[in-house]
Structure formats: structure tokens, C-alpha cells
């Protein structure tokens, strides 16, 4: 499993991903699930991936290779004119990868080759945008009504996102929110694991913002993890107990 | 979907279940998912169900009917000598119901006829016990290490259970804990719905304890739901923001 989140804020975008991959609980490794294509002053595109690791790595490698074989007819992620076209390029690529294995290869289980992506960034001349891309290659865009995307093990970490997200947050507050959301997930699902990768994108900058890898030993991560458990317990203590439990006769 | 929780406390057991059943989002009904068999001074057995409604209702009806056809060789839930035998009876019943449809009837999709149960209570001469019963009919018991069971949509409501559960809780605190856990689930999954059924069992009493149906209009439920959202926001505000976001050059 995996857990990745992309947040759309007024000041830009914020991404976080875990690094655990596993095939069974006895075959666990660490892989970065955050990929960035940058040409300063022209574009910053970041991709988060969840799902079959062979599929996601193949998608990323194909996007890289197409850039190196420039001049041919396939689109190049450094040349697409808009974020919409970038999302379409990633969507077309993932569909073709999955089709090759599942349909071309004759293997039945399409779902087990599946992968889902969050793509965000900005290309000169366009807005800062963020998309959720499905294994079928289609995609949806983040809006004011739906300002964040989660992929992978999204359930444990959703309640705090729903309650504490604010589009006017600073990146520092958003980092706190994402760390709390990830911490709830890490505590409940062994297949999501540290370290965490974090990246910010400031709207209009057209270059990568802050990047950080959070290790288990990170003192801030520890402080948030312990502090949030304690804060939850205290918040819970301060709510009134239920008084309506009349005993039956 | 469904959400049900059984808590094992020092003073007894506490059960809560939602009442929503659905076949698609446009076919929604309300059914009680909590069943109780009681003979004062001898036994109190409570069953919570999640899964295929036809299966769970058939299991409960078969348990009821076997009581009426007393004297035959099939065990009767009012006569089994221990909670272990009660769990075995429910497990055998659910396995036979699912086998009849899936194997006997030749229908392929075993999982879609599946149902999972929480069974708790006490029979004179034995301890108060609680079990989680799988669709295959096998079951596990709650212990000090694993003092609560959730069935149905368990992920959203788990983080608060993990953090705030305490075996020495009063029933009034446990009711608050369950309401917070259910509220997080209700806010995130449309297929879990009010009203909620709540029941307590005091160890050694051998009769049903308090029983309550919480409606959406219940003022305590409203106070907890609003209060918890606000408490979470405040707890979040009081944590320090992340300071390590140095911008790349």
C-alpha cells in the first residue's frame, strides 16, 4: 500500500508521499513515490504514485525516455503546453502500460496492475493545477469544492483533512496538517511507512519550492506524533460524558 | 456498508451499531443490526451484524427458530452452556447459510453473500466474553491486547479508538468514545447512517443493561459531533507549525 496527498492552497500546492512498498508483509522495501520535472521559469510538474510498483516505475521511465528521444511524434512532458496536456500524457501512458500487460499479455487481473497518480504543478502561460489520474487514464481536477486528493490508504487520514484544511493555510501549517494525517495512517496500517517526502510549489514561481525528507528520527515528526496523540486524548477528555444511559429494569 | 463496534471493558461490554443498509446509493433503508437473547439470571447474548442483509437476517431467524423447535438435535442459543458454544453456534449457522447459497446454489461470488458478526455476553457459570465471527464460521476472542472489535467500515473510526480506549472507562465515557468514532465514520462514508443503537452489559448481571437509540436530533449526539470537530481544530491549532521548509535556491 501507499499513502500520498496533494493539497491545493491559495499560495500553491503541497505534496506528501510515504516510501513503503510491499509484496506481502515479509517483502518490504523503500521507494520514492514523488517525481518532479522542472525547467526553471517554464514549468514545475510533480507526480505522486500509488499502486503496482512495476507499473508506476514503467510510466515514469517512459515519460523520461520520451524526453530523451525528442523530435519524434510522442509528446514530451517538458514540451506539453499545459497542465491539462501533462495529465493527458500521464493518463495515456498509464493506460498503455496496463493494457500491454493485462490485454496484450493476456493476464486477467487488471486491477492488480493498476496505479493511480496525483499530478500537480504549473506551466508558463497557465494556472497552477492539480489532477487525480485513474488507472484507466482518465482524470479529474482539484477545485475549491474538492481541494485535496489522496491516493492509496486514504481512510485513516481523511477525517483530520476534512476538518482542519483551510485554503488560506501557510505551507508550514499545511505541513503540520499532512504530518498529522500521515501519522494517523502510519499508526493504523503497516503498509504505509516512513520516511515521508514533502514538497511545496508556490504559485507563479515555476520552480520547485521547499523539499524535505522526514525520517522517523526527525524531532518535529516525533513532536507532532506524540503531541497529536496527547492533544486528541485531552480533547476527548474535555467533551462531556454521555448521561442518558438509564438501566433497564 | 455498516459500522458496528464491541468494546470489552473491566466493568462489562458495550455495543454500538448503525442502522443503514443499502444496495447502491439509491436504495437505502434502515434496519436494526443488534440482536439480543436474554434470560435474566442465566444469560445475556448480544449479536452485531455486518454484511449481506439476507444472510444476517437468515442467521438470526435460524437461531430464533431453533429455539422454538426445542428438543431436536440442533443447539439452541438459549441452551448452549458457554459463550464459546454460542460463538460456535453462530459460526456454524453463518457458514451453513453462505454454503447453501454459494456452494449449494452454485452462485460464484461467495464474498457478496458474506457476513461478519460481533458476539458478546455472559452465560451463568462462565466469564463475560466477546467474539468476532467470520463468514467462514471461525472466530476470535477479544483479549486485553485486543480489547475491541469493529466490523463494516472500520477505518475512519479506528484512530480515536486506538488512542482513547481505556479498559477502566465508565460506560458513560465509553459511550462518548463510541459516538466520536461513529461520528468520524458517518462524516466520511454515506453508507453508514443514523440512528445508532447502543447497549451496555455489566459483568455478572446476566441481564441486559442500558439500551438507547440515538437519533440525528439527539442533543447529546449533536453536542459531541460539533464539539469534537471544534476540539480537533483547536488541538490542531495548538500544535507547532513545521519550521523546516527551507526553499530550494
C-alpha–C-alpha distance, residues B19 and B4, integer Å: 9
Supply the pLDDT for residue A166.
Answer: 95
Residue of A9, A236, A240 best to disrupt the B interface, most CBs of B under 10 A:
A236
Q: How far is CA B64 from the centre of its chain?
A: 20
Identify which of B32, B61, B21 has the alpha carbon closest to the alpha carbon of residue B211.
Answer: B32
CB contacts of B240 in chain A (<8 Å) are 176, 220, 223-224, 227
C-alpha–C-alpha distance, residues B171 and B205, integer Å: 15
Asked if the structure places residue A64 within a domain, the reply is yes
The domain spanning residue B8 has which CATH number? 3.60.20.10
Q: Is A166 on the interface with B (CB under 8 A)?
A: no
Q: Is A240 on the interface with B (CB under 8 A)?
A: yes
- Residue range B131-158, pLDDT digits in tens: 999 999 999 999 999 999 999 999 999 9
Tell me which residue in A188, A223, A227 faces B158 most closely, judged by beta carbons. Answer: A188
* Tens digit of each residue's pLDDT, chain A (249 residues): 799 999 999 999 999 999 988 877 777 788 899 999 999 999 999 999 999 999 999 999 999 998 887 666 678 999 999 999 999 999 999 999 988 887 777 776 655 788 999 999 999 999 999 999 999 999 999 999 999 999 999 999 998 898 899 999 999 999 999 999 999 899 888 888 889 999 999 999 999 999 999 998 999 999 998 899 888 889 999 999 998 887 655
C-alpha Rg value of chain B to the nearest Å: 20
Asked if the structure places residue B199 within a domain, the reply is yes
Helix (H, G, I), strand (E, B) or coil at A219: helix
Supply the pLDDT for residue B191.
Answer: 83
Q: Is B215 on the interface with A (CB under 8 A)?
A: no
Q: Is B172 on the interface with A (CB under 8 A)?
A: yes
Supply the angle between the helices B171-188 and B219-238 in degrees, to the nearest 10: 80
Number of cross-chain residue pairs from A and B with Cβ atoms under 8 Å apart = 145
Helix (H, G, I), strand (E, B) or coil at B52: coil
C-alpha–C-alpha distance, residues A138 and B218, integer Å: 43
Q: Is B188 on the interface with A (CB under 8 A)?
A: yes
Contact residues for B64 (Cβ-Cβ < 8 A; gap 6+): none
pLDDT higher than threshold 90 for residue B101: no
Range of the domain at A124: 3-237
Asked if the structure places residue B170 within a domain, the reply is yes
Q: Could you tell me if B34 and B45 are in contact, meaning their C-beta atoms sit under 8 angstroms apart? A: no
CB contacts of A176 in chain B (<8 Å) are 236, 239-242
Contact B156 A158 (CB under 8 A): yes
Q: Is B224 on the interface with A (CB under 8 A)?
A: yes
Asked if the structure places residue B245 within a domain, the reply is no
Asked if the structure places residue A244 within a domain, the reply is no
Burial A157-168 (b: 16+ CB within 10 A, else e): bbbbbebbbeee
Asked if the structure places residue B46 within a domain, the reply is yes
Q: Considering its fold, how many domains does chain A have in total? A: 1
Amino acid at each position: 500500500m501507499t499513502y500520498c496527498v496533494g493539497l491545493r492552497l491559495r499560495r500553491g500546492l503541497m505534496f506528501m508521499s510515504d516510501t513503503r512498498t510491499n509484496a506481502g508483509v515479509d517483502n518490504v522495501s523503500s521507494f520514492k513515490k514523488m517525481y518532479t520535472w522542472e525547467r526553471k521559469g517554464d514549468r514545475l510538474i510533480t507526480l505522486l504514485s500509488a499502486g503496482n510498483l512495476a507499473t508506476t516505475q514503467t510510466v515514469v521511465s517512459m515519460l523520461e525516455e520520451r524526453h530523451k528521444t525528442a523530435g519524434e511524434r510522442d509528446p514530451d512532458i517538458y514540451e506539453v503546453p499545459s497542465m491539462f496536456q501533462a495529465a493527458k500524457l500521464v493518463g495515456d501512458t498509464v493506460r498503455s502500460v496496463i493494457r500491454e500487460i493485462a490485454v496484450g499479455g493476456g493476464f486477467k487481473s487488471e486491477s492488480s496492475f493498476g496505479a493511480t497518480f496525483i499530478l500537480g504543478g504549473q506551466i508558463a502561460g497557465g494556472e497552477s493545477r492539480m489532477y487525480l489520474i485513474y488507472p484507466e487514464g482518465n482524470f479529474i481536477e482539484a477545485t475549491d469544492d474538492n481541494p485535496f486528493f489522496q491516493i492509496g490508504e486514504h481512510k485513516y487520514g481523511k477525517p483530520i483533512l476534512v476538518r482542519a484544511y483551510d485554503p488560506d493555510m501557510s505551507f508550514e501549517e499545511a505541513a503540520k496538517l499532512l504530518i498529522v494525517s500521515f501519522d494517523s495512517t502510519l499508526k493504523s496500517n503497516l503498509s504505509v511507512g516512513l520516511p515521508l517526502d514533502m514538497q511545496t510549489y508556490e504559485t507563479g514561481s515555476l520552480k520547485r519550492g521547499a523539499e524535505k525528507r522526514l525520517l522517523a528520527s526527525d524531532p518535529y515528526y516525533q513532536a507532532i506524533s506524540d503531541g497529536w496523540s496527547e492533544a486528541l486524548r485531552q480533547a476527548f477528555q474535555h467533551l462531556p460524558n454521555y448521561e442518558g444511559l438509564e438501566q433497564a429494569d
